[in-house]
Amino acid sequence: MKFRSFDKYTSITKENVPYLRQLAADVSQSPYRPKAHICPPCGLLNDPNGLCWYEGYYHVFYQWYPFGPSHGMKHWAHVKSRDFADWEWCDQILIPSEPYEKNGCYSGNAFVNPKDGNCYLYYTANYKTGTGRVPKQAAAIMTPQGSIRKYEGNPVIDGAPEGISGDIRDPFVFEQDGCYYMLLGGSGLDGKGRLLLYSSQDLLDWSYNGCIRIILDGKETGLGTMVECPGYIRVDGQDVLFLSLIGLAPKGDRYHNQFTSLALIGELDIPNMEFKACWEDEADCGFDFYAPQPFYGKDGSPMVLGWFGCGEQHLPEDSYHWRHALTLPRKLHIREERLYMTPAPEAIRAFGAPASHSETPVSRTEAPISSTEPVPPGPFIQPAPLSCLQWSFENDKRIHTLSIGGPMDYWTLTIDMSDRTVTWDRSNIKLLPVPAYGTVRRCSFTQCSHMDIDIFMDNSFVEIYIQNGERVLSGRIYL
Ligand code: FRU
């Protein structure tokens, strides 16, 4: 087909729909596309938005620039499913059409209002000026019949409170003790990340409460240079916060991606404007993950979906006019004060029966090189494009390695049971995505007598669950 170029801030109109249909038909034939992960029909996908179980369906919206694999005018694309397995495209999407959102409908979440039965979608109306942004938060209302209309009183919040810069975004609305609250990410005039809190009695009229401090080990922690996509959820009787941060420098094995998403367990103390954290870590230890949004599933169980990508990546699928996908929906649990994530059982049925893997471990002393470096690869496994691999072994204090691909083009996963580390190395892949942020990721796990690893491979999208979700690593692999 003949590809057209569009201005960065183009919205979908009746005139460009036929072109987008043609583009989507073309993209559907392209390589690297997943089958079990939600991906865009064409163009670029980023953050998950508006996640909810509503009127018998899971609704998933996502940030979408439809016209090509780049960041531009963001729409909210919309798909729904009864079971996380079969997804249906919905034409009720958010298209930036109003003067207050002239540069896009940015991220936000969904809140089902038990009082009127409607589902309120909150988003940032991106409004740029010659000197920066004017922060505007907006609402749209989805009815039980499925229609969506933007609230006529938009924006529901206009402008920035004192001391906060124009970059305030990504509303996350929830209820606590009969009051509605909205978290927002932002940055102070001092260039440091801030977590803002607003409150409301009716979900539409919001007032500013101030900034929430994150307290860890008795001290206030820094939030990089900018907070994005905050999310709050109750998990097993505790409060869990997700924060996506810009500007965290690498620290040991952590924070090696362009941007970082943290998960924290603790207590959200609204009267004192504090989140008292007892545990904090990267939400995902892989290469390609950002902007996770928590939500409650059908049975009220806490879950999360993330963007299977991060920042400004250029990826092999760009030449086919699409980019990125969402992660699998993951269930959340707390065990021994740590957050666990496991893929939703309905979402992994598509991967079929898992294959088991066995190998001969080596001891640290037998390993030809230090265990902090990868051991030599092989024997190689060449999995089917959509498959699941289960790998289990006893804790023998030895080094276990898995090599996927062939001798000239492969990745490895190394588990060192004596120092309890996982090393994922994709430096031997020929089509290497974003080498600027390194080719190895490492993380540790807690003491265990037995190791269980589940690897979900969906074409170029790989998710690795260590120890029933104590650690999850997501990354793109182009073999
Ligand atoms: C995070 C983010 C959000 C913003 C959206 C724009 O990836 O930058 O802060 O709302 O993407 O697409």
How is the chain split into domains, by residue range?
17-346, 352-476
* CB of 412 sitting under 6 A from ligand 1: no
Q: Are 325 and 308 spatial neighbours (Cβ–Cβ below 8 Å)?
A: yes
* CB of 170 sitting under 6 A from ligand 1: yes
Q: Separation of 473 CA from ligand 1 center, angstroms?
A: 21
Which CATH fold would you assign to the domain 17-346? Answer: Tachylectin-2; Chain A (2.115.10)
Q: Separation of 400 CA from ligand 1 center, angstroms?
A: 38
> What is the distance between the alpha carbons of residues 477 and 408, in angstroms, rounded to a whole number?
14
Angle of CA points 237, 231, 187, to nearest 5°? 135
Q: Separation of 262 CA from ligand 1 center, angstroms?
A: 16
Task: Work out which ligand 1 atom sits closest to the CA atom of 229.
Answer: 9
* CB of 340 sitting under 6 A from ligand 1: no
Which whole-number Å values give the CA distances from 77 to 72, 81, 199, 304, 369, in the listed order?
A: 14, 14, 28, 18, 48
Q: Residue written as tokens 């021994």?
A: 336
> What is the distance between the alpha carbons of residues 104 and 407, in angstroms, rounded to a whole number?
46
* CB of 137 sitting under 6 A from ligand 1: no
Which of the 8 DSSP states describes residue 74?
A: B
Q: Separation of 85 CA from ligand 1 center, angstroms?
A: 26
* CB of 46 sitting under 6 A from ligand 1: yes
Tell me if residue 449 falls in helix, strand or coil: coil
Q: Are 469 and 345 spatial neighbours (Cβ–Cβ below 8 Å)?
A: no
> What is the distance between the alpha carbons of residues 411 and 285, in angstroms, rounded to a whole number?
16
pLDDT in tens, the chain (479 residues): 899 999 999 999 999 999 999 999 999 999 999 999 999 999 999 999 999 999 999 999 999 999 999 999 999 999 999 999 999 999 999 999 999 999 999 999 999 999 999 999 999 999 999 999 999 999 999 999 999 999 999 999 999 999 999 999 999 999 999 999 999 999 999 999 999 999 999 999 999 999 999 999 999 999 999 999 999 999 999 999 999 999 999 999 999 999 999 999 999 999 999 999 999 999 999 999 999 999 999 999 999 999 999 999 999 999 999 999 999 999 999 999 999 999 999 999 999 999 998 888 887 777 655 555 656 787 899 999 999 999 999 999 999 999 999 999 999 999 999 999 999 999 999 998 877 899 999 999 999 999 999 999 999 999 999 999 999 999 999 99
In words, the CATH class of domain 352-476 is mainly beta
Which tokens sit at 464? 């690795």
> What is the distance between the alpha carbons of residues 402 and 418, in angstroms, rounded to a whole number?
17
For the range 376-379, what are the long-range contacts, defined as Cβ-Cβ under 8 Å and sequence gap of 24 or more? 377/401, 377/403, 377/407, 377/410, 377/412, 377/428, 378/403, 378/407, 379/403
Q: Are 168 and 159 spatial neighbours (Cβ–Cβ below 8 Å)?
A: no
Which whole-number Å values give the CA distances from 222 to 118, 191, 295, in the listed order?
A: 37, 11, 26
pTM, two decimal places: 0.97
* CB of 77 sitting under 6 A from ligand 1: no
**Torsions phi, psi for 375 (to 5 deg):** -80, 160
pLDDT in tens, 86-140: 999 999 999 999 999 999 999 999 999 999 999 999 999 999 999 999 999 999 9
Which tokens sit at 153? 């009183």
> What is the distance between the alpha carbons of residues 111 and 257, in angstroms, rounded to a whole number?
30
